[in-house]
Amino acid sequence: MSAPALQKTYQVQHRDFGTAGEASADIKRMLRQLGVQSDILRRVSVAAYEAELNLVIHSLGGQLSLEVDTHHIQLSTSDTGPGIADLEAAMRAGFSTADDEARGMGFGAGMGLPNMKRNADAFDIQSTLGQGTQIAMTFNLS
């Protein structure tokens, strides 16, 4: 295992729609600066945005982390919150428990988790009801 070339962790606040999207925008900016190719940059950016917004909308707050080494980009989230009762249902396109506030801002299509899975080369989600949720995504660089 090579040493990480870059490691950064962002704190994401519950219901802070004013700053929502800033962490994933920073991730995109840094990866572009590192010279990550456009297709991978696009996939990581979509996944990071969906993960960040899920922390804002569905959790009570958590962390979004980025790690880059020679061969991979890894995105991971860890939050405290309600957790997910039925992971299989949550992974289905169109499934959403987003409330009216979130839906009023255009969220709640139930596409975030399926989009993360589709865009990542490896995707893992763990959740404990009443405690929180963790997601790990890997994107291959070569």
Tracing tokens 């490896």 back to the chain, one arrives at 122
Burial 118-140 (b: 16+ CB within 10 A, else e): ebbeebebebeeeebbbbbbbbe
The residues in 58-87 that bind ligand ATP, with binding defined as CB under 6 A, are 58-59, 79, 81-84
Give CA angle at 64 (141, 139), nearest 5°.
15
For residue 77, give the nearest of 121, 33, 110, 123 by alpha carbon. Answer: 123
Among 54, 59, 74, 127, contact with Mg ion (rule: CB under 5 A) = 54
Q: Is residue 45 within the footprint of ligand ATP (CB under 6 A)?
A: no
43 binds, among ligand ATP, Mg ion, none (CB under 5 to 8 A by kind): none
Q: Is residue 52 within the footprint of ligand ATP (CB under 6 A)?
A: no
How far is residue 29's CA from residue 31's CA, in Å, rounded to a whole number? 6
How far is residue 3's CA from residue 72's CA, in Å, rounded to a whole number? 11
Question: Whose Cβ is closer to ligand ATP: residue 45's or residue 54's?
Answer: 54
Q: Is residue 17 within the footprint of ligand ATP (CB under 6 A)?
A: no
Among 97, 117, 136, 138, contact with ligand ATP (rule: CB under 6 A) = 97
**Interface residues with Mg ion (CB under 5 A)?**
54, 112
Residues that bind ligand ATP (CB under 6 A): 50, 54-55, 57-59, 79, 81-84, 90, 95-98, 107-114, 133
